[in-house]
Each structure stands twice: as C-alpha cells, then as structure tokens.
Structure 1
Amino acid sequence: MPPGEKFEMASIGRVITSQEMRGTGLGKELIQLALETIEQRWPGSEVFIQAQEYLKNFYGSFGFQQVSEPYIYDSLPHLDMLYQAKK
C-alpha cells in the first residue's frame, strides 16, 4: 500500500503462502520483491507491517525492527514492525 493509504508510511498487507509452498523460499522472494517495488515507487519510504509474532525473526532478516509490544489481532499474537529504507 502506498504511503498515506492505510498508514503514514508504505505498508505490506497480509502475506499468505499455501502449506505446500512453505519452506520453498517463495515467501522470502515475495517480501524481497515487495520491498524492491516500494523502493522503486516511493524511494526512501519506510515500510510498516503488522506481523504475526512468531515471524519476527523472518521479517527481521529483511531489516524490519519491532516497534510495538505484542498484541492480539485476529485471535493471534502480532507486533508492529518497521523497515527503514536504505538511504
């Protein structure tokens, strides 16, 4: 989502991978493509996500940092994470 659409900064919504495709690297490719697309369309934009808590390290591997305490969303523990664009 573009900056200002849902949040102040650009954001990535729900990322869903089918059970059969988990562990294939497809999720990593998808997040990398999303970050590259955001950088192309809105250079320098921060990126906000509401991540399931158990995926903190996955998103952290892309440079996302936790910016909230865990909270319940859709009956699952989530946390807010922010990616600082490379300058």
Structure 2
Amino acid sequence: MLKYKIKTFEDLTTTELYKLLKLRSEVFVVEQDCVYQDIDGKDDKALHVLGYKGKKLVAYTRIFEPGYYFEASSIGRVVVAKNEREHKYGYELMETSIEAIRIHFKETKIKISAQYHLKKFYNNLGFKEVGDTYLEDDIPHIAMFRS
C-alpha cells in the first residue's frame, strides 16, 4: 500500500510539483507518444493526490470540485509509474481519489474522461460509460460517470 498526500496547488513544494509533472510527462507524453499541453492552466484549481512508495512518487491524480471541469466532481491525470503497475496501485489511487472527493467536496457524483482501453478498470470502480467514444489528443476516450 502506498502512502498518500492530498494537497492544494499552493501547498505543493517545488520538489513535489517537479516530481508530479515529471511522472505525468513520462507516461502521457513519452510512454504514450502523445504531444499535448500537459500544463494546461488547471493545476492551480485542483487538489493533488500523490501516492508514495517510500520517498518515490509512483501514483498521482488531480481532482476538481463540481462545476469547475464538469458539472460533477472529476478526477483526471490518473497515472501510475510504468514499473509499478504490476502492484495494481491504480485501484487504491482511484479509491483514495474518490474518498478525497467525498471528504473535501462532500460529493459522490464523479465524471471522468477515460482512455477507452481502460474502460473495464473504471467499470470495476463503479464508473459507467456515457455516450460515444471520442478522440482526445489522438487517443480514444469515453465519458464515464459514478454516482
């Protein structure tokens, strides 16, 4: 099990910000070979969920209150370091993020924009697909909702 920290943008240290941006870049830009603007001007409005194995950041999401990104609360930038995925940290990362939304935003309704190939992973966490697939940064995605 990982140790989690939940922080506002203002509470992130420079080192934590560097490490989370590095992890996001390693996976979303390099591993997925996707050129896109990861630093999108929304990080300062998010709560950041950081999962540590010892002192190493290996898992991360950012969460938003209702009305900012979608009408419902949302979880995005869901990432686990490639060499740590065998431990199934994605499930505890998402469960921690769902619980953080419940505690910090007093919400249970969550909408995500999920990479289509991860649909079953999100189904296992109680998310149901809504609508058709669409391309986001040339990767097939689907909207999913959990209430």
With structure 2 as the length reference, what TM-score do the two structures score?
Answer: 0.55
Q: Find out whether 1:69 has 2:115 as its counterpart.
A: no
**Cα offset, 1:6, TM superposition:** 1.3
> How big is each residue's C-alpha offset from its partner over 1:9-40, in whole Å with a ceiling of 9 and x where there is no partner?
10001111111011212111100000111111
Query: Which structure carries more relative contact order (alpha carbon 8 Å, separation 6+)?
Result: 1
Q: Mark the runs of 5 or more structure 1 residues left unpaired by the alignment.
A: none
More strand by share: 2
Q: Which residue of 2 aligns with 1:79?
A: 142
Matches within 5 A, 1:20-35: 20-35=83-98
Structure 1 stretch displaced more, 34-43 or 45-54: 34-43
> Larger C-alpha radius of gyration, 1 or 2?
2
Structure 2: runs of 5+ lacking an equivalent: 1-63
Q: How many pairs were matched up?
A: 84
CA RMSD in angstroms, aligned pairs only:
1.0
Distance 2:96 2:135 in 1: 28
Name the SS of the counterpart of 2:91 in structure 1: helix
Higher helix proportion: 2
- Amino acid aligned to 1:67: V
Q: Distance in 1 between matches of 2:76 and 2:133?
A: 18
State the 1:3 CA deviation.
Answer: 0.6
Structure 2 counterpart of 1:50? 113
Query: Percent identity at matched positions?
Result: 36
**SS where residue 68 of structure 1 aligns?**
strand
CA contact (8 A) 2:73 2:107 kept: no
The code of the aligned residue for 1:26 comes to Y
CA–CA separation in structure 1 for the residues paired with 2:134 and 2:86: 26
Shift of 1:43: 2.8
